[in-house]
Every structure is written in C-alpha cells, then in structure tokens.
Amino acid sequence: VLLAYLGDWEGAEVRMAQLRPRLAVPGQHNQLGAWFAAISTLEAAAVLGLRETCAELYPQALQLHEDGAYIVWDRGLSERQAAIAAAAGSRWDVAEGHFAGAETRARDGGNRLELAELTRWRAQMLLWRDEGEDRVQARELLAQAARAYRELHMVRHVRFTEELTVEALGPVSR
C-alpha cells in the first residue's frame, strides 16, 4: 500500500504479486498476516487502478466485517475496504451500502481520518462509475476530503486528492 501511495507502481505490483500466495482465503480461518495481506493488496490495487484485482478481494473484506473485525489494523474500517472492492467491481448499490455503514461507524466514533478517507473513496467510486453528474459530485467530495486532510496535516493525501480532482475535470471515459 505504501508503495502504491508513494507512486512506485512497479514496486507495488511486484510486492502484490509476491503476496498473492499468502492472501486470506474467503470462508476459512486465516492467520492475521493473511488477512492483512489481503486488505493491503485490495487497497493497493484500488490506488493503482487495478479494479479487477481489487474486486476479487471483496469476499475477504466482507468476511472480516461480518466476523466483527471492524477495524483492519492501520487500513481503517473493514466496511470501507468492502465498499472499495464492491465499487471496483461496479457493484454500486452494494458499495454505497458499505460506505453508508462505514460512515455511521466513523461518525459515531468521531474518527475524522476515516471520514476523510470515506469521502475520498466515495469520490473515486463516482469517477469509476462516471454516469450523469458523477464527476460533479466527485469534485465536491474531493474538495471536502482535501479540506479534511489539510486539517489533519496529511499533505500527501491532499496532493493525492488534487490529482483525483484533475481526473474528475478530464474528458468523460466511456
């Protein structure tokens, strides 16, 4: 995930390939490292735009959430991860349901970082869907996320959000 966020796409893809045999298997009990590898791969794939890889990991994210692991170590809420994977797989209604659930949990817990992350990833979902007013809504969400990241002094995430905003201003990708 770190390599993906740093823009080292080649390094991130190599590391994801190395982790592939170690990922948690859905429907089974897995070791902690296998779960962490699955969720980290899910998010890294989403950052890299590898939507199919990300979507394939939806069952793992869903199982973690349904089994009561609401927070996935340093990756945030398991339901946000499920939302990202559902969105990557073009399961818009399922993703929205997960985003809404995660937002409620984040608000109830006063988790400002998670709320910023949810806002940014919701915007990403809209950019992936790219229908109707999605780009307009995505720009609004990205502006909210950038403000939240600035308040949290997360300069790199502000920059990342600005890059997504440029994408939202670009030509429609149909």
pLDDT the model gives residue 102:
96
Q: Which residues of 125-155 are buried (b: 16+ CB within 10 A; e: fewer)?
A: bbbbeeeeebbeebbebbebbbebbeeeebe
For residue 113, give every residue at least 6 positions away whose Cβ sits within 8 Å of its Cβ, in sequence order, or none: 76, 152, 154
Question: pLDDT tens-digit profile of 93-142?
Answer: 999 999 999 999 999 999 999 999 999 999 999 999 999 999 999 999 99
| 156 vs 117: CA distance, rounded Å | 13
The answer to which of 1-5, 40-44, 135-139, 152-156 has the lowest mean pLDDT is 1-5
Q: Name the band, by pLDDT with cuts 50, 70 and 90, for residue 72.
A: confident
Instruction: Please give the residue that has the higher pLDDT: either 70 or 132.
Output: 132
Residue 91's contacts (CB-CB under 8 Å, 6 or more residues apart) are 55, 58
Report how far apart, in Å, the C-alpha atoms of 143 and of each of 51, 53, 139, 168 are: 24, 28, 6, 11
